[in-house]
Chains A and B, each alone.
Chain A
Amino acid sequence: MKFAASAALAAISLTACATTEQSAASTEVYDPFEGWNRGVYQFNEVVDKAAIEPAARAYRVATPGLFREGVRNVLTNLRQPVVFANTILQGNPDASGETFGRFLINTTVGVVGIFDVASTLGVSKHDEDFGQTLGVWGVDEGPFLMLPLMGPSNLRDAFGRGVDNAFDPLNYAEFDEPITDDEFRVTRAVVGAISTRERLIETIETLRDQPEPYIALRRTYTSQREAAIRNGEIEDDPYKDLPDFDDFDAFEEEESGPDQPQE
């Protein structure tokens, strides 16, 4: 019902994944582990409120918007090799070319990705991961999962996340000092988490205001992943699973009840 809430929730991109066959309109998301998932959700909320959200708010206060945008750009640029690999696996040469071009342009002209020069030049941005690739291949999403600290997912996307890590060349990079490798990865993960959380401050506030935040998150995540697998295209027959309005008809009859003779 709430426009902004829906729009904001739909924009949640904490993680990724969804289904190719379920329809967002009608869906009851397959969630056989709901009890466990709700427990993890509550755990995540506690950790978030105690540590992650305060860090994200402090980050927002302490840094100018341009700086945060630069950080986001760098993090996005670091992910382009993974995006590129997935565009190849999805058989999308246009997206592969654009992703490769973006990485080259932003890494060089954009000073290691700080500036998104490629977007300024009109090179399209893509966001692909192995969960989406599996979806394109027709793999069902499996049960919904709430992952500790990482948020909503499902079996396919959780598996995809592991594969994406394996794709990521930076996970194999070796620096001069062995300790530096770990430091780099931990720093990237922490900065990535805080940057993402900062971007989602208002969205998560909206989510928490919902009557059932867990349900809202589960549904939004699932339908958003479906849309991501379709690369943002609306499904061919978007109205096929809309509920019939027999309910409404029945209700309309009831609404006239008080005016009708009562038994």
Chain B
Amino acid sequence: MKMRTLLISALAAAVVPASAYADERTESFVKQNANEVLNSLNNPDLSSAERTSLFSGYMEQFANINAVSKFVIGKYANRFSPEELKRYQDAFRTYALAVYQSELDAYRGNEVVVEGSTDRSPSDSIVDTKIARTDGRDMNVRWRVLHRNGEYQVVDVALDIEGNLIWLAIEQRAQFLALLDRTNGSADALIDKINSMTRKLKSERR
């Protein structure tokens, strides 16, 4: 009996620090990668194309764009043909990277400060950060991080707009699904829309 109690105590002791440790590792993953991403946009020695390339490389490591691309189309991920899915994911990846670059550019060179984190489960955490802006208004950004197969990857980002947490992938999903429902699941309709948004984004950049 004593041995059993000892084992349970040892297990409990092992589990509690492990949980706290998981938080720390997720937090440092976000801190390191988010700062690398922002710094990649702020390197004056690079050309615009080189910056975009560097930024995209970091984002591909930092975020699981493939998983997000499927999440935002929900059931249609299984209904698209393999060819449609590939075309859609290519379009989505280009769009997502363009959006991230365009929007994160406002924060380039600024430090991402981790303010805390919450574990929804051992493999699903949210890291709360603050990013200073040049206009003096700090932006609260929350990163949803999944821990899978020994790797951390961001799958969604929330902006705190006056107490309203806007999860970007969830909002995207609501609109993509509505568009697909309205067009009888037309991959082409969605791809066309995504491509038009990408074109507009790039034309606004410069």
Cβ-closest chain A residue relative to B125: A239
Would B175 and A210 count as touching, CB distance under 8 A?
Answer: yes
Are A6 and B118 CB-contacts (below 8 A) given A1-B99, A233-B163, A248-B67? no
Would A251 and B164 count as touching, CB distance under 8 A?
Answer: no
Q: Size class of B's contact patch?
A: 35 or more
Q: B residues within 8 A CB of A220?
A: 166
A247 at interface (Cβ–Cβ under 8 A)? yes
Would A242 and B162 count as touching, CB distance under 8 A?
Answer: no
- Compute how far the CA of A188 lies from the CA of B152 in the bound complex, rounded to whole angstroms: 55
Would B179 and A211 count as touching, CB distance under 8 A?
Answer: yes
Q: A residues within 8 A CB of B168?
A: 1-3, 6
B71 at interface (Cβ–Cβ under 8 A)? yes
Would B71 and A248 count as touching, CB distance under 8 A?
Answer: yes
Are A6 and B200 CB-contacts (below 8 A) given A1-B96, A224-B164? no
Q: A residues within 8 A CB of B25?
A: none
A57 at interface (Cβ–Cβ under 8 A)? no
A185 at interface (Cβ–Cβ under 8 A)? no
Would A3 and B126 count as touching, CB distance under 8 A?
Answer: no
Are A216 and B175 CB-contacts (below 8 A) given A7-B159, A209-B197, A248-B71? yes
Within 8 A of B (CB), among A226-257: 226-228, 230-234, 238-239, 242-243, 245, 247-249, 251-252, 254-255
B178 at interface (Cβ–Cβ under 8 A)? yes
Would B159 and A239 count as touching, CB distance under 8 A?
Answer: no
Would B165 and A238 count as touching, CB distance under 8 A?
Answer: yes
A4 at interface (Cβ–Cβ under 8 A)? yes
**Residue with the greatest number of chain B CB neighbours at <10 A, chosen from A211, A233, A239, A247:** A211
A215 at interface (Cβ–Cβ under 8 A)? yes
Would B165 and A3 count as touching, CB distance under 8 A?
Answer: no
- Compute how far the CA of A255 lies from the CA of B67 in the bound complex, rounded to whole angstroms: 8
Cβ-closest chain A residue relative to B173: A243
Instruction: Give the number of residues in A that approach B within 8 Å (Cβ atoms).
Output: 43
Would A11 and B104 count as touching, CB distance under 8 A?
Answer: no
Would B166 and A24 count as touching, CB distance under 8 A?
Answer: yes
Q: B residues within 8 A CB of A25?
A: 165, 167, 170
- Compute how far the CA of A230 lies from the CA of B72 in the bound complex, rounded to whole angstroms: 29
Would B126 and A248 count as touching, CB distance under 8 A?
Answer: no
A156 at interface (Cβ–Cβ under 8 A)? no
Contacting B64 at CB < 8 Å: which of A2, A224, A243, A248? Answer: A248
Are A216 and B171 CB-contacts (below 8 A) given A24-B166, A25-B165, A211-B179? yes
Q: B residues within 8 A CB of A7?
A: 159, 161, 166
Would A242 and B167 count as touching, CB distance under 8 A?
Answer: yes
Lowest 10 A-B CB distances belong to which pairs? Answer: A3-B103, A10-B161, A227-B164, A227-B163, A232-B163, A251-B70, A212-B175, A212-B178, A1-B172, A6-B166
B residues adjacent to A (C-beta < 8 A) = 64, 66-67, 70-72, 74, 77, 95-96, 99-100, 102-104, 118, 120, 124, 126, 144, 146, 148, 155, 159-172, 174-176, 178-179, 182, 190, 193-194, 197, 200
With A24-B164, A211-B197 given, name 12 new contacts (CB 8 A): A2-B197, A6-B159, A10-B159, A25-B167, A215-B174, A215-B178, A226-B164, A242-B144, A245-B146, A245-B155, A247-B71, A252-B148
